[in-house]
Amino acid sequence: MTDVQTTEVDPPWEGLTGADLHAACMRAARAGDRQAMDRLVHELTPLVWHVARANGLDRLTAEDVVQTVWLALFSQLDKLRDPKALAAWLITTTRREAQHPFGRRAQPVPLTDELAESMESTHPAPEEEAVRADRDRRVWRAFLRLPHRCQQLLRLTVLAGRAEYQLVAEALRMPRGSVGPTRGRCLESMRDLLAQEGGSR
Amino acid sequence: MNDLGTPGEMTSPGDEALLADIGRFMDELDPPPGDLVQRVQFALALENLDVEVARWERMDATAGVRGSDTGTITFTVSDLTVMINLTKIGKKHRIDG
């Protein structure tokens, strides 16, 4: 016999957001609350995913890494001293995993045009959207032609700028120093590529 | 020459505009697979099972059967308790539970 029914009382993390939510779920998860763990996974998988992708992993490998990172968290739930630092821990662990995931990939698979195809199919273009879709296609293609390091830096920049990740912006940033100028150069080359795209079709 | 409406805006958008575009593409074109969350949750549930089984084995090892001919071992996993009796008969053990 299985006990499907669990208590219907609002969980203690109800209504919380951000780091407070993470901390409350971590505490409950440590006490063995599976719902709490599920909630964390639901809440933070997009972050782990985008960090994995921003570190140059293809989609399949990124999926593996996301799973690995969560299992790693689960296996050392008690060791993570500061539950509020969870998101930062996830980011750091994801990046480490992305650099040598299980040692079974020789080197990071670069982001390629794999997604360029999906642009056509996911954007059926009714009249006035056609122009926008066309512009999007060009911008996306320009992005994909950037050096991989640029793509990664720009993805991370976007993530760090998101309101919901404000607290972990520090952990998301590339090593200090050359970031600003490098980012500027990346955006500049993207504009150049875009200009070429604009004239080509 | 082509007849794009606003070539200037098209070819040299500002930094913020480009980053906003990239952010949109990340969500629209490169979201996590729809079932990834469920798969992770399932993997964690399985892992959880392993932990429970491991707890059994650990208790087995530490509780052990002491030198005497009979012993009782109690296994506990979540709200289920199993008690078994071991009785030594010659070279074998009889197990009642």
Partner A contacted by B50 (CB < 8 A): no
Whether the complex's predicted ipTM surpasses the cut of 0.85:
no
pLDDT score at B31: 93
Task: Determine the average pLDDT of the residues in A39-46.
Answer: 93
Is the separation of the CB atoms in A187 and A143 below 8 Å?
no
Sort out which chain B residues have CB atoms less than 8 A from A154's CB and list them. Answer: 19, 22
Partner B contacted by A86 (CB < 8 A): no
Q: A194 vs chain B: nearest CA distance in angstroms?
A: 6
pLDDT score at B38: 94
Q: Do B32 and A143 touch (CB under 8 A)?
A: no
pLDDT score at A100: 74
pLDDT above 90 for A146: yes
Q: What's the one-letter identity of residue B96?
A: D
Angle at A118 between CA A116 and CA A122, to 5 degrees: 135
Give domain limits for chain A.
18-99, 114-200
CATH architecture of the region A18-99: Orthogonal Bundle (1.10)
Task: For chains A and B, count residue pairs whose Cβ atoms are closer than 8 Å.
Answer: 101
pLDDT score at A123: 47
Beta bridge partners of A200: none
Task: Give the residue on A whose Cα is nearest the Cα of B1.
Answer: A199
pLDDT tens profile A155-201: 988 888 876 666 666 777 665 556 678 889 999 999 999 998 765 44
Partner A contacted by B11 (CB < 8 A): yes
Take residue A41 and report the two structure tokens written for it: 């996974």
B2 falls in which pLDDT band (50, 70, 90)?
A: very low
Rounded distance between C-alpha atoms, residue B18 and residue A122, angstroms: 21
Q: What value does the mean pLDDT of chain A take?
A: 79
Of A66, A131, A194, nearest to B40 by CB-CB distance is A66
Q: A38 vs chain B: nearest CA distance in angstroms?
A: 6
Partner B contacted by A164 (CB < 8 A): no
Q: B67 vs chain A: nearest CA distance in angstroms?
A: 35
pLDDT tens profile A95-139: 889 887 555 444 444 445 555 544 544 445 566 677 778 888 899
Beta bridge partners of B73: B84
pTM, whole model, 2 decimals? Answer: 0.68
Task: Determine the average pLDDT of the residues in B19-47.
Answer: 91
Tell me the H-state helices in chain B. Answer: 7-11, 15-29, 36-63
Partner A contacted by B31 (CB < 8 A): yes
Tell me the H-state helices in chain A. Answer: 18-30, 34-54, 59-75, 86-99, 116-122, 127-145, 148-161, 169-172, 179-200
Residue A128, Cβ density class (10 Å: 0-12 exposed, 13-18 middle, ≥19 buried): exposed
Of B11, B31, B43, nearest to A198 by CB-CB distance is B11
pLDDT above 70 for B78: no
